[in-house]
Amino acid sequence: MHDPRFLLAVVALPFLGSAIAAFLPARGRNLASTLAGVIALAGAMIIAAYYPLVERGEVVRHELAWLPTLGLNLTLRLDGFTWLFATLVLGIGALVILYARYYMSPDDPVPRFFAFLQAFMGSMLGIVLSGNLIQIAFFWELTSLFSFLLIGYWHHNQSARDGARMALIVTGAGGVCLLVGLLLLGRMAGSYDVDAVLAARDAIHADKAYLPALILILIGAFTKSAQVPFHFWLPHAMAAPTPVSAYLHSATMVKAGIFLLTLLWPVLSGTDSWYLIVTTTGLATLLVGAWAAIFQQDLKGLLAYSTISHLGLITLLLGLGSPLAAVAAIFHTVNHATFKASLFMATGIIDHETGTRDLRRLSGLVRFMPITATLAMVAAAAMAGVPLLNGFLSKEMFLAEALEAHSGTIIDVALPYLATLASAFSVFYSVRFIHQTFFGPPPVDLPHQPAEAPHWIRLPIEILVLACLLVGIVPALTIGPFLASAVQSVLGDQTPTYSLAIWHGFTLPLAMSFIALIAGTALYILFRERLNAVERSPLIGRLKGRRTFEAVLAAIVNAARGLHERLGTRRLQVQLRLIVVTALLLGTLPFLRLGYSRGPLQDTLIDPVFGLLWLCGGACAIAAAWQAKFHRLVALVLVGAAGLAVCISFIWLSAPDLGLTQLLVEIVTLVLLLLSLRWLPQRRPAIWPEERKPPMVLIRRGGDLLLAIAGGTGAAALAYAMMTRPMPDSISRYFVENAYSGGGGTNVVNVILVDFRGFDTLGEITVLSIVALTVFTLLRRFRPAPESIEIPDQQRRQNAFDEASKDHAMGDTLVHYLFVPRIIMQWLFPVVLTFALYLLMRGHDLPGGGFAAGIATSIAFLLLYMANGTRLVEASLSVQPVRWISAGLVCAVATGLAAWLFGYPFLTSHSRYLTLPLIGDIPLASALLFDIGVFAVVVGTTLLMLIAIAHQSIRSPRARKPVQPAAAEPGTGGGA
Amino acid sequence: MEILLSLAIGVLTASGLWLLFRPRTFQVILGLSLLSYAVNLFIVAAGRLRSDAPPIIGKDPTSADPALYADPLPQALVLTAIVISFATTALLLVVLLASRGLTGTDHVDGEDGEA
Domain count, chain B: 1
- Nearest in space to A74 (alpha carbons), one of A82, A86, A85, A62: A62
Domain containing residue B92: CATH number: 1.10.287
Side-chain-side CA neighbours of residue A812 (13 Å)? 11
Residue A964 binned pLDDT confidence (cut-offs 50, 70, 90)? very low
State yes or no: ipTM above 0.90.
yes
pLDDT beyond 60 at A966:
no
pLDDT tens readout for residues A480-523: 899 999 999 999 888 888 888 888 788 888 999 999 999 999 99
Answer yes or no: is A741 within a domain. no
Residues of A in contact with B86 (CB under 8 A): 665, 668-669, 942
Q: From the list B2, B20, B44, which residue is nearest A603 (CB)? A: B2
- Region A197-215: what's the mean pLDDT? 92
In whole angstroms, give the CA distance from residue A496 to residue A176.
Answer: 35
Confirm whether B86 is domain-assigned: yes
Residues of chain B contacting A697 with CB distance shorter than 8 Å = 114-115
Chain B residues whose CB is inside 8 A of the A741 CB are: 61, 64
Is residue A635 within 8 angstroms of chain B, CB to CB? yes
Q: Chain B within 8 Å of A921 (Cβ-Cβ)? A: no
Note the pTM of the prediction, 2 decimals: 0.71
Judged by average pLDDT, the poorest of A227-231, A941-945, A954-958, B2-6 is A954-958
Confidence of residue A917 (pLDDT cuts 50, 70, 90): low
DSSP output for A579-591: HHHHHHHHHHHHH
Cα A742 → chain centroid: 41
Of A327, A253, A329, A293, give the one whose Cα is nearest residue A92: A253
B69 CB neighbours in chain A (<8 A) are: 654, 736, 748
Give the C-alpha separation, A651 to B52, whole Å.
Answer: 9
Predicted local distance difference test score (pLDDT) of residue A972: 40
* Calpha distance A772→A753 (Å, rounded): 21
pLDDT band at A959 (very low <50, low <70, confident <90, very high): very low
pLDDT in tens, A446-473: 888 888 888 889 999 999 999 999 999 9
Per-residue confidence (pLDDT) for residue A969, from 0 to 100 = 40
Handedness of CA A721, A724, A728, A733 (dihedral sign): positive
- Residue A700 exposed, middle or buried by CB count within 10 Å (0-12, 13-18, 19+): middle
Q: How far, in Å, CA of A854 to CA of A933, rounded?
A: 10
**Contact A771/B91, CB-based, under 8 Å?**
yes
Residue A377 lies in a domain: yes
Which residues face A915 on adjacent strands?
A921
pLDDT in tens, A126-135: 999 999 999 9
pLDDT at A712: 94
Residue A37 in any domain: the answer is no
C-alpha distance from A187 to closest chain B C-alpha (Å): 40
Of A747, A771, A847, the CB nearest to B87: A771
> Smallest Cβ distance to B4: which of A611, A650, A847?
A611
Question: What pLDDT score does A616 carry?
Answer: 93
pLDDT confidence tier of residue A800, bands split at 50, 70 and 90: confident
The reply to whether A7 falls in a domain is: no
Q: Work out the pLDDT band at A146, boundaries 50, 70, 90.
A: very high
Above 80 in pLDDT, residue A674? Answer: yes
In B, minimum Cα distance to A733 occurs at B66
In this prediction, residue A685 has a pLDDT band, given cuts at 50, 70 and 90, of: low
Residues with Cβ < 8 Å from A392, sequence gap 6 or more?
Answer: A382, A385, A386, A472, A502, A513
- What range defines the domain where residue B17 resides? 2-50+68-103
By the 10 Å C-beta count (0-12 exposed, 13-18 middle, 19+ buried), A499 is classed as: exposed
| Closest chain A residue by Cα to residue B16 | A625
In this structure, the answer to whether residues A811 and A934 fall within a common structural domain is yes
> Would you list the DSSP string of A134-185?
HHHHHHHHHHHHHHHHHHTSSTTSHHHHHHHHHHHHHHHHHHHHHHHHHHHH
DSSP string, A54-92: HHTT--EEEEEEEEGGGTEEEEEEE-HHHHHHHHHHHHH
Q: Which helix (H) or strand (E) holds A916?
A: strand A913-916
| B84/A768 CB distance under 8 A | yes
Out of A611, A757, A767, the one facing B76 most closely (by C-beta) is A757
Q: In this complex, is the C-beta atom of A605 within 8 Å of any C-beta atom belonging to chain B?
A: yes
- The residues pairing with A298 across neighbouring beta strands, listed in sequence order, are A358
Q: Do A491 and A397 fall into the same domain?
A: yes
* Under 8 Å between Cβ of B40 and A646: yes
- In this structure, the answer to whether residues A470 and A528 fall within a common structural domain is yes
For residue A952, the chain B residue with the least C-alpha distance is: B97
Q: Residue A105: pLDDT band by 50, 70, 90 thresholds?
A: confident
Residues of chain A with pLDDT > 70, as a percent, come to 92
Instruction: Go through A611-628 and write b for each residue having 16 or more CB atoms within 10 A of its CB, e for each that does not.
Output: eebbeebbebbbbbbbbb
Q: Does one domain contain both A841 and A892? A: yes
A509 lies in the same domain as A658:
no
- Give the residue-averaged pLDDT of A107-113: 89
At residue A132, the 3 state secondary structure works out as: strand
Q: Among partner residues B19, B37, B52, which is closest to A646 by beta-carbon distance?
A: B37
How far apart are the C-alpha atoms of A439 and A380, rounded to whole Å?
Answer: 14
The type of residue at A883 is R
For residue A130, give every residue at least 6 positions away whose Cβ sits within 8 Å of its Cβ, in sequence order, or none.
A75, A76, A77, A136, A139, A194
> Touching check for B72 and chain A: CB below 8 Å?
yes
DSSP A747: B
Question: Which residues on chain B are in Cβ contact (under 8 Å) with A618?
Answer: 7-8, 11-12
Express as a percent the part of chain A with pLDDT over 90: 50
Shared domain check, A762 and A634:
no
Calculate the CA dihedral of residues A859, A864, A870, A876 and round it to 10 degrees.
-120
> Of B3, B21, B101, which is closest to A576 when you measure between CB atoms?
B21
Q: Is A909:A927 a contact under the CB 8 Å cutoff?
A: yes
Q: How far apart are CA A240 and CA A317, in angstroms?
A: 29
User: Closest Cα partner for A165 from A147, A148, A189?
Assistant: A148
Structural domain includes residue B56: no
Within this chain, do residues A623 and A552 fall inside the same structural domain, yes or no?
no
A733 in contact with chain B, both atoms CB, cutoff 8 A: yes
Query: B43 at the A interface (CB within 8 A)?
Result: no
The pLDDT mean for chain A works out to 87
Q: Are A594 and A719 in contact, with CB atoms under 8 Å apart? A: no
Q: For residue A228, is it within any domain? A: no
Handedness of CA A665, A668, A670, A673 (dihedral sign): negative
CA distance A517 to A505: 18
| Cβ contact A636–B30 (<8 Å) | yes
In tens, the pLDDT along A515-565 reads: 999 999 999 998 888 888 777 777 666 666 778 888 888 999 999 999 988
Contact at CB, A657 and B79, closer than 8 angstroms: yes
Confidence of residue A971 (pLDDT cuts 50, 70, 90): very low
Question: In this complex, do B101 and A618 lie within 8 Å of one another by their Cβ atoms?
Answer: no
Q: Which residues of B touch A738 (CB under 8 A)?
A: 64
**Distances B13 to A572, A642, A709, A725, B41 between C-alpha atoms, Å:** 19, 12, 8, 22, 11
A527 interfacial to chain B (CB closer than 8 Å):
no
Kindly indicate the confidence band of residue A425, based on its pLDDT and cuts at 50, 70 and 90. very high
Residue B34 placed within a domain: yes
Q: Is the pLDDT of residue A586 over 50?
A: yes
B97 interfacial to chain A (CB closer than 8 Å): yes
Q: Is the per-residue pLDDT at A924 higher than 80?
A: no
Q: Say yes or no: A437 and A556 in one domain.
A: no
Instruction: Say how far apart CA A383 and CA A379 lie, in whole Å.
Output: 6
Q: Does the distance separating the beta carbons of B95 and A778 come in below 8 Å?
A: yes
Nearest to A316 by CA among A205, A431, A212, A404: A404
| A370-384 helix and A390-403 helix, angle to the nearest 10 degrees | 10
Which of A189-193, A333-337, A419-423 has the lowest average pLDDT? A189-193
Which residues in B lie closer than 8 A to residue A625 (C-beta atoms)?
Answer: 15-16, 18-19, 30-31, 34
Considering the domain boundaries, does residue A89 fall inside one? no
C-alpha distance from A566 to closest chain B C-alpha (Å): 19
**In chain B, what are the helix, strand and coil shares in percent, each to the nearest 5?**
70, 5, 30
A464 is a domain residue: yes
Mean pLDDT of A885-897: 88
CB contact under 8 A, B20 and A576: yes
Contact criterion met (CB < 8 Å) for B2 and A628: no
Question: Per the domain annotation, does B62 fall within a domain?
Answer: no
Q: Which residues pair with B28 in a beta bridge?
A: none
The answer, yes or no, to whether residue A968 has pLDDT greater than 50, is no
pLDDT, tens only, A240-265: 999 999 999 888 999 999 999 999 99
Q: Which of A335, A338, A322 is nearest to A393 (CA)?
A: A335
- Calculate how close chain A gets to B35, using CA atoms only, in Å: 10
Cα separation, A515 vs A1, whole angstroms:
50
Q: What is the DSSP string of A534-577?
A: --S-TTTTT--HHHHHHHHHHHHHHHHHHHHHHH----HHHHHH
Tell me whether A777 touches chain B (CB under 8 Å). no
Q: Which residues of chain B have pLDDT under 50?
A: 114-115
**Hey, are the CB atoms on B1 and A772 less than 8 Å from each other?**
no
Say yes or no: B52 contacts chain A, CB-CB below 8 A.
Answer: yes
pLDDT, position A33: 92
Facing residue for B101 by CB, picked from A672, A697, A785? A785
B 12-41 residues with CB < 8 A to A: 12-24, 26-31, 33-34, 37-38, 40-41
What pLDDT, on the 0 to 100 scale, is given for residue A965?
A: 42
Top residue of A581, A658, A698, A779 to mutate, by most chain B CBs within 10 Å, is A658
Whether residues A719 and A751 share a domain: the answer is no
| Residue A952 belongs to some domain of the structure | yes
User: Domain check: are A550 and A644 in the same one?
Assistant: no
- Structural domain count, chain A: 4
CB pairs under 8 A between A and B: 333
Same domain, A702 and A840: no
Average of pLDDT values for A651-663? 90
Q: How far is B49 from chain A (nearest CA, A)?
A: 6
What range defines the domain where residue A408 resides? Answer: 290-537
pLDDT exceeds cutoff 50 at A958 = no
DSSP A309-371: HHHHHHHHHHHH--HHHHHHHHHHHHHHHHHHHHHHHHHHHHHHHHS--BTTT---GGGT-HH
Residues of A numbered 539-598 whose beta carbons fall under 8 angstroms of chain B's beta carbons: which are they? 570-573, 576-577, 580
Integer angstrom CA distances of residue A789 from A216, A244, A795, A811, A956: 63, 59, 13, 18, 7
Residue A630 in this model has a pLDDT that exceeds 60: yes
Q: Do A748 and B72 touch (CB under 8 A)?
A: yes
Query: In which band, very low, low, confident or very high, does the pLDDT at A916 lie, cut at 50, 70 and 90?
Result: low
At A542 the pLDDT is 60
For residue A691, the model assigns a pLDDT of 63
Angle at A549 between CA A544 and CA A555, to 5 degrees: 125
Q: Does B65 touch chain A (CB under 8 A)?
A: yes
Judge if A383 and A426 occupy the same domain.
Answer: yes
Bridge-based pairing of strands A920-923 and A913-916 is antiparallel
